[in-house]
Chain A
Amino acid sequence: MSIRALRSQEPRRADVLTTSDGYPRRVDGCLVEAIREEWRVEEGWWATPTRRRYFSTVLADGSLCVLYQDRRDGSWWRHGR
Chain B
Amino acid sequence: MAADYVELHCHSAYSFLDGVAQPEDLVDRAAALGLPALALTDHDNLCAALPFAQLAGAAGVRPITGCELTVEDPHGRMHVVLLVEDRAGYANLCRLITLAHRDTRPAAGGPARAPAAPLRDVLAHAEGLTCLTGCPTQGALVDVDAAPERLDLLRAAFGERLAVELQRPFREGAETQLRRFAALAAARRVPVVATNDVHLHLRRRGPLQDALVAIRAHASLDACRPLLRGNREHVLKGPGEMAALFRDLPEAIVETRRIAERCAFAITDDLGYRPPARAGEADRELAALCAARMDDRYPRDAADRRAAEERLATELRLIRHHGLAGFFLLHHEILEIAREVAVDVRGPDAARAVLPPGRGRGSSVGSIICYLTGLSHIDPIAARLSLGRFLNEELAATPDIDLDFPRDIREQLIRRIHVQYGSGRAALVGAFATYRARGAIRELGKALALPAADIARLAAASDGWSAEAVGDELRRVPGLRERADDPRLRLLVALCRQIAGLPRHLSQHPGGMIVADRPLSEMVPLQPAAMAGRTICQWDKDACGDAGFLKIDLLGLGMLSAVERCVTEVARTEGPIDLSRIPLDDDAVYREIRAADTVGVFQIESRAQMQMLVRVEPRCLDDLVVEVALVRPGPIQGGAVHPYINRRMALRADPSTPIPYDHPLLEEPLRETLGVIIFQDQVLDVAQALAGFTSGQAEALRRAMSRRRSRAAMQAQWEAFREGAARRGVSTHVAETVFRRILAFSAFGFPKSHSAAFALLAYQSAWLRHHHPAAFLAALLAEQPMGFYPPASLIRDAERRGVRVLPVDVAASGVEAACAHPHGVRLGLRQVVGLGEEDAGRLVAERTAHGPYRDVRDLARRVDLADGVLERLVAAGACDAFGPRRQVLWELGLAARGRTMADGARQLAFDLQLGEAPAGLPEPSAWDLLVGDYASTGVSLRTHPIAQLRPGLERVVDSRTLADLVDGTPVRIPGLAVARQRPASANGIVFLLLEDEHGLVNLVLLPDVYERNRLLVRAEPLLLAVGVLERRDRQVNVRVEHLEPLASPRRGAVGPVERLREVAPAAQHFAQGRRRA
Contact = CB atoms under 8 A, between A and B. Distances in A.
Contacts of B222: 46-47
A46 B488 contact: yes
Interface stretch (A12-20, A23-31, A34-42, A72-80): A34-42
Given A46-B221, A46-B491, A40 B170 contact: yes
Given A37-B175, A38-B170, A43 B448 contact: no
Nearest to B168: A38
B988 interface: no
A39 B232 contact: no
Given A37-B172, A54-B172, A42 B232 contact: yes
A56 to B, nearest CB: 8
A39 B171 contact: yes
A54 B176 CA distance: 15
A46 B207 contact: yes
B206 interface: yes
Nearest to A45: B207
A41 B230 contact: yes
A47 B448 CA distance: 9
Interface in B7-33: none
Contacts of B221: 46
Contact of B172 (A39, A42, A43): A39
B230 A43 contact: yes
B225 interface: yes
Nearest to A43: B230
Contact of A43 (B173, B174, B225): B225
A45 B210 contact: yes
Interface string A43-54: 101110000001
Task: Give the residue among B171, B231, B448 with the most A Cβ atoms within 10 A.
Answer: B231
A38 B206 CA distance: 20
Give the size range of B's interface with the partner.
Answer: 20 to 34
B233 interface: yes
Interface SS of A by simple majority: strand
Nearest to A42: B231
A68 to B, nearest CB: 11
Give the size range of A's interface with the partner.
Answer: 10 to 19
Contacts of B448: 46
Interface string B161-174: 00000000011111
Task: Give the residue among A38, A46, A47 with the most B Cβ atoms within 10 A.
Answer: A46
B228 interface: yes
A52 B229 CA distance: 14
Contact of A42 (B176, B230, B488): B230
A37 B168 CA distance: 11
Contacts of B228: 43
Contacts of B488: 46
Interface SS of B by simple majority: loop
A41 B491 contact: no
Contacts of A40: 170, 230-231, 233
Task: Give the residue among A39, A41, A47 with the most B Cβ atoms within 10 A.
Answer: A39
Contact of A41 (B173, B207, B231): B231
A71 to B, nearest CB: 11
A60 B646 CA distance: 94
Nearest to A54: B172
A54 B206 CA distance: 19
Nearest to B221: A46
Contacts of A36: 175
A13 B889 CA distance: 72
B221 to A, nearest CB: 5
B207 A39 contact: no
Task: Give the residue among A36, A40, A42, A45 with the most B Cβ atoms within 10 A.
Answer: A42
Contact of A39 (B170, B206, B225, B491): B170
Nearest to A66: B172
A36 B172 CA distance: 11
A54 B173 CA distance: 12
A45 B228 CA distance: 12
A58 to B, nearest CB: 14
Nearest to A47: B222
A39 B232 CA distance: 11
Contacts of A42: 206, 230-232
Contacts of A45: 206-207, 210, 491
Interface in B199-219: 206-207, 210
Contact of B231 (A37, A43, A47): A43
Nearest to A53: B170
Contacts of A43: 210, 225, 228, 230-231
Nearest to B203: A42
A4 to B, nearest CB: 10
A54 B171 CA distance: 10
Contacts of B172: 37, 39, 54
A71 B231 CA distance: 12
A39 to B, nearest CB: 5
Task: Give the residue among A43, A45, A47 with the most B Cβ atoms within 10 A.
Answer: A43
B450 to A, nearest CB: 10
A14 to B, nearest CB: 19
A8 to B, nearest CB: 13
Contacts of B210: 43, 45-46
B228 to A, nearest CB: 6
A36 B179 CA distance: 12
Interface string B216-256: 00000110010010111100000000000000000000000
Contacts of A41: 230-231
A37 B231 CA distance: 16
A40 B491 CA distance: 23
Contacts of B231: 39-43
A5 to B, nearest CB: 14
A77 to B, nearest CB: 16
A57 to B, nearest CB: 13
Contacts of A39: 170-174, 231
A39 B172 CA distance: 5
A75 to B, nearest CB: 19
A55 to B, nearest CB: 11
B230 to A, nearest CB: 6
Contacts of A47: 222
A39 B206 CA distance: 17
Interface in B483-522: 488, 491
A41 B170 CA distance: 8
Nearest to B225: A43
Interface in B917-958: none
A24 B488 CA distance: 36
A36 B176 CA distance: 9
A37 B170 CA distance: 9
A40 B206 CA distance: 13
Interface in B53-71: none
A74 to B, nearest CB: 18
B177 to A, nearest CB: 11
A38 B175 CA distance: 8
A38 B172 CA distance: 7
A45 B230 CA distance: 11
B227 to A, nearest CB: 11
A43 B222 CA distance: 10
Contacts of B206: 42, 45
Interface in B136-177: 170-176
A70 to B, nearest CB: 14
A58 B171 CA distance: 19
A46 B207 CA distance: 8
A47 B228 CA distance: 15
Contacts of A46: 207, 210, 221-222, 448, 488, 491
- Would you list the 8 A-B pairs with minimal beta carbon distance, nearest first? A40-B170, A42-B231, A40-B231, A39-B172, A37-B175, A39-B170, A46-B221, A45-B207
21 contacts: A36-B175, A37-B174, A37-B176, A38-B170, A39-B171, A39-B174, A39-B231, A40-B170, A40-B230, A41-B230, A41-B231, A42-B230, A43-B210, A43-B228, A43-B230, A43-B231, A45-B210, A46-B210, A46-B448, A46-B491, A54-B172
Given A37-B173, A39-B170, A47-B222, 7 more contacts: A37-B172, A37-B175, A39-B174, A39-B231, A40-B231, A43-B225, A46-B222
